[in-house]
Structure 1
């Protein structure tokens, strides 16, 4: 019989990767090239590049806590948004995508193996499950903005379709 920690861990994994709720996050990003990533739309305050860098910033921050470290909280939330609107080049953009997806994989590994109700050393009142849920919801929120931008630009759906699989 599966315990509740394991069952909740499985639910967290589905949330982290985007299963059922929306397209898997790993399918929504890799076909975006550097030009599309840096495009600015008048109806949106950020480029796809800025959104992904912001997502990675907070995902990394929360993963640091989950690994028992104490990351430095930014003085202002705007520090989590890059000033530049576009990646330097295609190679650095693809590295940014991979670094973000590697973080998703790291969060999944924690969700699959950690005692989820364990409190965090440097995050009073929070548990591993709570922070993993926060990663999933934050990424999901901003992935929706990326999908919207892709729709504005006529760059949706990605190869293989844009629906959950």
Structure 2
């Protein structure tokens, strides 16, 4: 791995986990319970649950490309949003959070170990770095919406505070 690759990989890791610009993604989610996750605010078109499931959908799609597989695109963008607004129960919600955060960890491992400028076998116009940056920016965008919803509901900051670490 070249020095430039390693330095860019370190920058990607910071973007994937959240740093300086916003709270770490792993601190912003685990204390959200199923009731809060399924709450619908009249000013927002989706719940926290729907946001997290949408984030997970695209993160998983991009991770599959990064790991050499060829995922199937949805018929349309709405295929990446769940219709249901809330999780089935607390246990399934906590599983959703864990699966999403496990995906962040997988992305971090790729950023730390892969040759980032290599094109992807099933997505030749894109590099590993490009997809990792896409995961980071997509997650960051929607994490901001989750934080905003938490503020609307009086559920902010999380334990330990809401400042970047």
Give your verdict on TM over 0.5. Answer: yes
Match of 2:87 in 1: 87
Match of 1:23 in 2: 23
Query: What does 1:106-117 correspond to in 2, within 5 Å?
Result: 106-117=106-117
| Alignment partner, residue 132 of structure 1 | 132
Secondary structure, in 3 states, of the residue corresponding to 2:124? strand
Q: Deviations over 1:95-115 (max 9, x none)?
A: 000000000000000000000
* 1:12-161 correspondence runs (5 A): 12-161=12-161
Per the alignment, in what secondary structure is the counterpart of residue 132 of structure 2?
helix
Q: CA–CA distance in 2 between the matches of 1:53 and 1:78?
A: 12
Write the deviation string for residues 30-73 of structure 1: whole angstroms up to 9, x where unpaired.
Answer: 00000000000000000000000000000000000000000001
Report the TM-score, using the length of structure 1 for normalisation. Answer: 0.98
Q: 1:25 and 1:64 mapped to 2: Cα distance?
A: 21
- The runs of at least 4 aligned residues of structure 1 exceeding 3 Å deviation read none
TM-score by length of 2: 0.98
Answering whether residue 25 of structure 2 is matched by residue 5 of structure 1, we say no
Structure 2: gaps (5+ residues)? none
SS in structure 2 at match of 1:155: coil
Where structure 1 has 5 or more consecutive residues not aligned to the other structure, the ranges are: none
- The DSSP-based 3-state class of the residue aligned with 2:126 is strand
Alpha-carbon distance between aligned partners in 1 of 2:21 and 2:119, rounded to the nearest angstrom: 27
